[in-house]
Structure 1
Amino acid sequence: MTTSLLSRLSFSWVPARYGKAPYFWLLSFAIFGWKYLYIAPSTTELVYLALSFLVFLPFYFYSFWCSEWRIYACMALICSFGIIWAPYNYGGSTFCIFAATMCSRLPDTRRAYITLSAIGIIIVIASVLMRLESYFWIPALIFSIPSGVGAIISERLTRSNESLLKKQEEVEYLAAISERERIARDLHDLLGHTLSVITLKAELAGKLLDRNPEACKKEINDIEQTARQALAEVRAAVIGYRATGLGYELQSAKKTLDAAEVTLLSEIEQFTIPSAQENVLALALREAITNIIRHAQATQCHIRLYQHDAHVVLKISDNGLAGQTGAVRKGSGLNGMSERVLSLGGSLQVQASPDATGLHLELSLPLKEKK
């Protein structure tokens, strides 16, 4: 019983990707109360108002989950509420605005814009036929059309981001499978032969133990050397799976960016990097690529790794939205990156480009390990 109650309390009336915004949108109905600041409502009007909201709310929340003709039904009902209320309370335009934003839930973009236009035409026709005051149709048109267009664009952008994230997860999943297959293949090739050799030499050493101790000793030494060699080969085979270094992250970044249709330009110099610095660079690269895919909406990414004086420098830039807004939002990822860099005595700079070309990240670490 307790589990059932908790599941009901945790139920979300709208899909999680919308967050809490749909609940705050309902506050726009406060415009209904403007009339009653100077005209006292009758009991009948209050009853009808309450009934309207009680009918509206289930259809409003249902519109986030339904599809096809059911969305049209929700829009038609809610828009009709606005027109019916218009002669009595110009706040009825709020219903029309909600109906317009529901167009974004239609799967086809063209149909969404056609439906939005139809709602605007219906508002105009109803206003003319019913001789409604401008207090209704002006806000109904001024706010319905921009709100509907904004909702459609936002919905398409959200779906696009979800598609990119799915592609990224698919690429990572396929890469993991490919790596496991490589390890299995290498281990089979390495251990199959090596263990066969060790088995044969052990059998031979057992036969020579009494007849020729010197030859037996030689075979045992060979077994030891073969086992050591096998251990080194196994370590070499699995090192790429156990430790995801900078080289691995560069390859992963290219696959991820390709899946997101982001062009990668890279300038990578070859030189020795201490393991601690390489790990920080790899984590920084992973975080930067993740941010580009999820937030930047970029079409190009430039990665440059080079040595300057006694430092290794990693520069990552894109042509995404940060260059247009001029704002950099530092979340836990960038804060964690900054802490790791500072712990090694390095520096991190993240800024939006003044020429509106995107976000630029520059990470510098001393090549000499900090003692």
Structure 2
Amino acid sequence: MNKIRQVLAGPWLPPEQGRMPYFWLLSLAYMGWKYAYVPPGAGELALLVLTLAVFVPLYLASFRARGRQVFVFMLAACLLGAAWVPWNPGAATFFIFACAMAAGIATMKYAVAAIVAVIVLALLASLQTSGNMRFMFLMPILTVGLPVGMGAFMDARLRRSRQELMRKQEEVEHLATIAERERISRDLHDLLGHSLSLIALKAELARKLAHRDADACAREVGDIETSARQALAEVRAAVTGYREKGLGHALASARASLAAADVRLEESVERFALAPAAENVLALALREAVTNVVRHAGARRCSVSLGLEHGVAVLRIQDDGKARSEADIRHGNGLCGMRERAHSLGGRLALRARTGLELELRVPAGVSS
């Protein structure tokens, strides 16, 4: 009983499929087209309900089928369709669904062969009827069977490729995290290893001199204090260096630079998750853009906005400087580097000069919401 409840509770489809497969079930309405002209008998209506009750779970389960299971589901859909051919030309729907089930086949040549086999079975099943009934049965299969099957196969292959790419990206990010931890570990070892060894040595020497030479002991204690302060300063400098890589530090640096140049800042920054690569590109772009505003724009006002639009991080920086046309924009190494970094992530950089320079940088946020 619990198992049945779990099945009924779902999910009935893999999450990556979305809700579109439910929409395609509306195609079964073609089975009811005949009954707009010929009312069904009680027996036929009961068989139709039973057929749909069998097919719908079969169709939903086919999305989880792999390997040879896919061919079994395709054959089952064809057999349901063949059973209805003499009575209802809407049986073509089952063959079209069978073509779409080829999406679960990994290799294209096998997928094409399976779709062709379904069409051949439909042609054989059509021998059970004749005239207009045969035409109404075969026309949908011959016109949309192959396109539907190939479209479903290509969509599934694209989805699998995207999932594989996401897995590799997660592996790369994991390896990058490990490499960064190892680098920090090496840095701390290099920073503190020598200093702590020196402090330990001098502390041992000071302990030995404590009862024999107070002046020498005091000098050693002074050296210990100096070494400890130096080690603390090195650690603070290293930690500051790590923190300066983020977008938060870039924003703080931009505020300080604009304030020092007497440029009024208008800031509108949303908080949202960013992939490390995207954050780095945005931080570098912000630093470069603010540097240009301070050095070259001659501006009195600068606005900075950062937002998320449909999974894309959008950074806009606008000033009221002297740029009035495209000719006033200097395409130096900074802007070229900014553009190249954006392109490397699939983003783009746009520049407009009207009443000052407006910069718009768009990069994929790289983090699922």
Please classify the TM superposition score into its range, dividing by the shorter chain length.
0.5 to 0.7
Deviation at 1:236? 4.8
Match of 1:331 in 2: 310
Give the corresponding residue for 2:15.
16
Instruction: Tell me the distance in 2 between the aligned counterparts of 1:361 and 1:212.
Output: 70
When residues 5 and 137 of structure 1 are mapped into structure 2, their CA distance, relative to the original with a 3 A threshold, is closer
**Shift in Å at residue 60 of structure 1?**
1.3
Deviations 1:166-201 (A, max 9, x none): 111000101111122222233334333221211121
Distance 1:238 1:167, change over 3 A: farther
- Where 1:133 maps in the other structure, the secondary structure is helix
Identity %: 42
> Deviations for 1:139-176, whole angstroms, at most 9, x for unmatched residues?
12222211111101101110111111111100010111
Do the aligned partners of residues 47 and 160 (structure 1) sit closer, same or farther apart at CA in structure 2, a change above 3 Å counting? same
Q: Tell me the distance in 1 between the aligned counterparts of 2:8 and 2:216.
A: 78
Partner Cα separation in structure 1 for residue 207 and residue 277 of structure 2:
59
Q: Contact 1:104–1:152 (CA<8 Å) still a contact in 2? A: yes
CA 91–243 in structure 1, closer or farther in 2 if over 3 Å, else same: farther
Aligned equivalents of 2:255 and 2:96: distance in 1?
A: 55
What do residues 252-296 of structure 1 show as CA deviations (whole Å, max 9, x unaligned)?
Answer: xxxxxxxxxxxxxxxxxxxx9963579x8xx99848859xxxxxx
CA distance, structure 2, for counterparts of residue 5 and residue 215 of structure 1 = 84
The answer for the alignment partner of 2:197 in structure 1 is 196
**1:5–1:44: structure 2 CA closer, same or farther, 3 Å change rule?**
closer
State the AA in 2 paired with 1:360: R
TM-score scaled to structure 1, two decimals? 0.67
Q: Does 1:218 align with 2:219?
A: yes
The 1:287–1:83 alpha-carbon spacing in structure 2 relative to 1, beyond 3 Å, is farther
| Offset from partner CA, 1:318-364 (integer Å, 9 cap, x none) | xxxxxxxxxxx932543xx45xx57x989xxxxxxxxxxx8634484
SS of residue matched to 1:40: coil
Distance 1:59 1:158, change over 3 A: same
The alpha-carbon deviation at position 42 of structure 1 amounts to: 0.3
1:194 partner amino acid: S
Q: How far apart in 2 are the matches of 1:275 and 1:32? A: 67
Q: Distance in 1 between matches of 2:255 and 2:72?
A: 60
Q: Distance in 1 between matches of 2:5 and 2:235?
A: 50
Rounded to whole Å, the distance in 2 between the matches of 1:202 and 1:187 is 21
Q: What is the DSSP-based 3-state SS (H/G/I as helix, E as strand, rest coil) of the residue aligned with 2:309?
A: coil
Q: SS at 1:22's partner residue?
A: helix
After superposition, the Cα gap between the structure-2 partners of 1:8 and 1:82, relative to the gap in structure 1 and judged at 3 Å, is closer
In the alignment, is the contact (CA less than 8 A) between 2:86 and 2:128 conserved in 1?
no
8 Å contact 1:287–1:333 — kept in the other structure?
no
Aligned to 2:231: 230
Alpha-carbon distance in 2 for matches of 1:5, 1:78 = 23
Q: Which has the larger radius of gyration?
A: 2
Distance 1:333 1:53, change over 3 A: same
2:33 is aligned with 1:34 = yes
What amino acid is aligned across from residue 16 of structure 2 in structure 1?
R
1:360 aligns with 2:367: no
Contact 1:183 1:237 in 2 (8 A): no
Shift of 1:75: 0.5
Query: Unaligned 5+ residue runs, structure 1?
Result: 247-271, 291-302, 313-328, 347-357, 366-371
Structure 2 equivalent of residue 172 of structure 1: 173
2:59 matched to which residue of 1?
60
Q: Secondary structure at 2:145's aligned position in 1?
A: helix
**Deviation at residue 74 of structure 1 after TM alignment:** 1.0
| Residue 99 (structure 2) aligns with | 100
CA distance in 1, matches of 2:73, 2:127: 24
- For the 8 Å contact 2:106–2:157, the answer to whether it is kept is no
| 1:117 and 2:89 are equivalent in the alignment | no
Distance 1:332 1:159, change over 3 A: closer
| CA RMSD, Structure 1 to Structure 2 (Å) | 4.0
Change (3 A) 1:205 1:6: farther
Gaps of 5+ in 2: 257-268, 280-284, 303-307, 321-345, 351-357, 361-369
After superposition, the C-alpha distances for 1:215-253 in whole angstroms (9 at most, x for unaligned) are 33332222122112222333455556656437xxxxxxx
Given the superposition, is the C-alpha separation of residues 234 and 359 from structure 1 closer, same or farther in structure 2, using an over 3 Å criterion? closer
Q: CA 1:48–1:277 in structure 2 vs 1: closer, same or farther (change >3 Å)? A: farther
Contact 2:28-2:93 at 8 Å conserved across structures: yes
Report the 3-state secondary structure (helix = DSSP H, G, I; strand = E; otherwise coil) of the residue aligned with 2:63: coil
Q: What TM-score does the superposition give when structure 2 sets the normalisation length?
A: 0.67
Give yes or no for contact 1:201–1:223 (8 Å, CA) kept in 2: yes
Greater shift, 88-97 or 179-188, is seen at 179-188
User: Structure 1 residue 275 and structure 2 residue 276: aligned?
Assistant: no
